[in-house]
Amino acid sequence: MQFNLADMFEKVVDTVPDREALYCEGRLLTYQQLDERANQLAHHFLSIGIEPGDHVGCHMMNDTEYLETMLALFKIRAVPINVNFRYVHEELRYLYEDADLVGTVFDAEFADRISAVLPQTPKVQHLIAVGPFEGFELPEGTLKYEEVLAGQPTDRSGFPERSADDLLIIYTGGTTGMPKGVMWRQEDMFMAGMGGGRPAGEPFKTPEEVADNALAGGLVSFPAAPLMHGAAELSSFISFFSGAKILLIRKFSGHGALELIQEHKANMLMVVGDAMATPILEALQEKEYDLSSLMVLGSAGALLSQTTRDKLAVVAPNLYINDSFGSTETGYNGSAKPGTNAKDGLKFAINARTTVFGDDDKPIEPGSGKVGIVGQKGHIPLGYYNDPEKTAKTFRVIDGTRWVFPGDMATVEPDGTMHFLGRGSICINSGGEKIYPEEVENAIKTHPDLQDAVVAGIPDERWGQKVAAVLQVKEGHPAPSQEQLEEHLSTQIGRYKLPRFITYVDLMQRSPSGKPDYKWATRVLTEAAEAASV
């Protein structure tokens, strides 16, 4: 047995077969039942010619079928590809083509989008739709999910021998540009992105240890983010390897999430920044819920603002809040250091595999105040699928060691902790000064009248770029003027970082995973600035 995700999942199944494993929208599956459904789907995939290494899309919202599909593909050494369910024609065509999909499992409500791109993606030959089907016209040749499972054996016979080298590919949209498929060996992702089976302790030395870990587990985990987001996928498998029960919510809402936590006594909640935490806080203001079972709230993919952290501390004073730092390309880098706050800049206690490098490829001296780029070594990806040029730029060898540099910038404190600044690709250059949007956004979100903020650089004749902000006001609150906002920020960030242009929107556009949409924000701000100058 190796560090293979399917092998280890099956070990958990054989250890705690009757334990509840997965709940979504009224369907509750034990580990045995989940395994049997995944086995049936895996047998179907084999029967239609899906081979080891083939790529199959998971084009679904959160449901049990999503994780069943991932498990089925892992069992036969094929590769699940996460598909952003908000993508429309050109984005879908790009992803289906770039990922070399041979098939896709999709929610019937996305049938029209898939029908539109199929003529341009001839490699996609196998289509399986998840219901309900009423009102949707499925593409020709589509099979229905439950009918596919019916009649297939529930055992594991005939599956190929697996390896730690089997692939997991996660497509990441990031904050700019088209999505990129990050290729991980399963053992590397298990160690780097899943904490080696024990995020809070020493990683497994052997894959067989997953059995003891599962026996000792039994908590209830709620990854609330869409499963098409890598953080939710990884959180789910971390929970599987601890023998936990996983809760899924198909369409996220604050009240829906709180009802699920209360009904199933969830112990751990995973969100993606303020975009998911804020609706929960708003729902708590409208109705009282029992959160006594909840012990941990983790945020990955986007940092919680200090305002949100403070409010969470009031409504759930015993809740441990863990802001994680990392990316699809690195896995887990570290967690926010206790006692630091988002207003002053979160400091991260980083692991031994993480280093901040200067332009000379030398580690930044702690306390020097110099800004460097964050690198990760050890268990890192193989590269980007179908993109050797980006792979060469992002994955580099320094002094004989291979590092990954996804573009995150940081300084190093005197005590060795890291002060995260933001992604270099969205850095604003105003008159030679580098300004990181995340830092400005965190400061803006402390304003009592503002709900959300996304900061971007727009053209400026004198400075090249100037800082600008798209703002969303809290319901029933007044919109701060430019002068009022500058006054509020004047004691928090340097004047050169202050937004010189602001515009308001009724609803902020973010990705399904809660990440800021900087391309959208730049377009909105540029158009608003041009209109204001007429």
pTM: 0.85
pLDDT for the residue 21? 98
226 pLDDT more than 60: yes
Average pLDDT, whole number, for the chain? 91
213 neighbors 8 (Cβ within 8 angstroms): no
pLDDT for the residue 433? 76
CATH match for 427-533 among 3.40.50.720, 3.30.300.30, 3.30.230.10, 3.40.1280.10: 3.30.300.30
pLDDT for the residue 343? 59
443 pLDDT more than 70: yes
Topology classification of domain 5-185: Rossmann fold (3.40.50)
Distance CA 31, CA 15 (A): 9
User: For residue range 186-196, what is the model confidence (pLDDT) as tens digits?
Assistant: 999 999 999 88
Which residues contact residue 103 at a Cβ distance below 8 angstroms, ignoring those fewer than 6 apart? 50, 54, 56, 57, 124, 125, 126, 127, 128
pLDDT for the residue 174? 52
340 pLDDT more than 70: no
444 neighbors 452 (Cβ within 8 angstroms): no
- The proportion of the chain whose per-residue pLDDT surpasses 70, expressed as a percent, equals 96
The mean pLDDT of 337-347, rounded to a whole number, is 66
Question: Looking at domain 341-423, which CATH architecture does it have?
Answer: Roll (2.30)
The region of weakest confidence among 34-43, 217-226, 423-432 is 423-432
pLDDT for the residue 90? 85
The mean pLDDT of 116-137, rounded to a whole number, is 96
Distance CA 196, CA 266 (A): 23
CB atoms within 10 A of CB 169: 18
pLDDT for the residue 112? 96
pLDDT for the residue 273? 82
Q: Does residue 419 or residue 12 have the better pLDDT?
A: 12
How does 8-42 read in b/e, with b if 16+ C-beta sit within 10 Å? bbbbbbebbeebbbbbbeeeebbbbbbbbbbbbbb
Distance CA 148, CA 44 (A): 7
pLDDT for the residue 141? 95
User: For residue range 39-65, what is the model confidence (pLDDT) as tens digits?
Assistant: 999 999 999 999 999 999 999 999 999
Q: Residue ranges of the domains in the chain?
A: 5-185, 341-423, 427-533
pLDDT for the residue 345? 63
User: For residue range 253-306, what is the model confidence (pLDDT) as tens digits?
Assistant: 999 999 999 999 999 999 988 888 989 999 999 999 999 999 999 988 777 877
User: For residue range 386-423, what is the model confidence (pLDDT) as tens digits?
Assistant: 999 999 999 999 999 999 998 888 899 998 888 888 77
Both structure tokens of 214: 């599962």
User: For residue range 356-394, what is the model confidence (pLDDT) as tens digits?
Assistant: 999 999 999 999 989 999 999 999 999 999 999 999 999
223 pLDDT more than 90: yes
How does 367-387 read in b/e, with b if 16+ C-beta sit within 10 Å? eeeebbbbbbebbbbebbbeb
